[in-house]
Amino acid sequence: MKALLLINPASGREKVDKIVEVAKRRFLEKEYHLDIYFSKCAGDLTEKARLWADQYDTYITCGGDGTINEVVNGVMQSEVRPSIAVIPIGTVNDVAHILGFSHNLEKNFDIIFNTEPLPTDINKINDHYFVYVAGAGYLTEVSYKADRQEKKKYGPLAYLKTGIQGLSKKPFFKAMVQCNDEIYVRNVSLLLVLSADRFGGFRLPFFSKKNKLNDGLVDIRIFEGRDVTLLIKLAMFILLLGRKQYKQFHFTTGKATITPLNNNHVKWNADGELVTKGKIELEVIPKAIKFYVNPKRAKKLY
């Protein structure tokens, strides 16, 4: 194995030092090659992940969901694609949870050394790649609005707090959704695209009945309604672990075009970052990158 540890140093010095120490020791024991790179600025890891893709067979990302997203966007721009492993640092770490990586460093390296990486779908919104979530409307603007300090202090609750504060501003649009040879027009308070069973730190095992991380499909759910109605629907969504509620619009697809009809400024969020505005083309790219996965999670999601 020839691996590159791609680190987001903004994640916290102490934790980063510990990870570097354990990584070096575990790679030395195996006599595998390990290089280490610290991100210099936002977007740097996308550039480097693309540039060095033919020099490594494995990238180990060290940071939160945003760090993984940066690396994935770089790897997708390359013909040769290293496998990706995920060491979580930071607050929410949805992708690490989805793949079964925890804060137990030794166990994470056991997975990297003792399992084969699994071909995994990557999703695309216009020209931006994402791993596990995209959306527009209420709540999706939250993750980049949630204050850094509050995220550190309250974890997922910071998102909820910012979400409740933003309720009166009610982002809302009429959308035309074209997918599976059908056209639907819906009023959207929140449109959520998920490839797995987790979002914003909340476990949603019943969001999709059959969706896997290697089936070329994602699930799309539209929440309608405003104010208290919307808040109740979202609370139920979390309490019912993602189950579809009465008359809710939900579909499974590998490709969709979504056109906001009455608002060109609808902002789209992917993996927690604002990526584009207005009309989108959504596409699943089947089995695009190999990811290391905890065997327990692999059984459920592959």
Residues forming the site for Mg ion (CB under 5 A): 211, 215, 217
Nearer to Mg ion, 280 or 288 (CB): 288
Cβ of residue 159: shortest distance to Mg ion, in angstroms? 24
Q: Phi first, then psi: what are they for 249, rounded to 5°?
A: -85, 115
Helix (H, G, I), strand (E, B) or coil at 100: coil
Nearer to Mg ion, 212 or 279 (CB): 212
Cβ of residue 142: shortest distance to Mg ion, in angstroms? 24
In terms of Cβ atoms closer than 10 Å to its own Cβ (0-12, 13-18, 19+), residue 121 is buried
What distance in Å separates the CA atoms of residue 207 and residue 198, rounded to the nearest whole number? Answer: 9
Cβ of residue 27: shortest distance to Mg ion, in angstroms? 32
What distance in Å separates the CA atoms of residue 101 and residue 179, rounded to the nearest whole number? Answer: 33
∠ CA 100-62-4, nearest 5°, is: 110
Nearer to Mg ion, 115 or 211 (CB): 211
Cβ of residue 125: shortest distance to Mg ion, in angstroms? 15
Nearer to Mg ion, 50 or 255 (CB): 255
Nearer to Mg ion, 234 or 301 (CB): 301
Which residue in 203, 19, 169 sits closest to 98, CA to CA?
Answer: 203
Q: Using an 8 Å Cβ cutoff, are 42 and 64 in contact?
A: no
∠ CA 271-275-278, nearest 5°, is: 125
Cβ of residue 191: shortest distance to Mg ion, in angstroms? 17
- Taking the CA of residue 38 as centre, how many other CA atoms within 13 Å lie in the half-sphere pointing to its CB? 10
Neighbours of 204 (CB within 10 A): 21
Dihedral over Cα of 77, 179, 300, 11: its sign: positive
Nearer to Mg ion, 102 or 214 (CB): 214
Cβ of residue 99: shortest distance to Mg ion, in angstroms? 14
Which residue in 130, 263, 276, 252 sits closest to 179, CA to CA?
Answer: 252
Cβ of residue 206: shortest distance to Mg ion, in angstroms? 15
Nearer to Mg ion, 210 or 247 (CB): 210
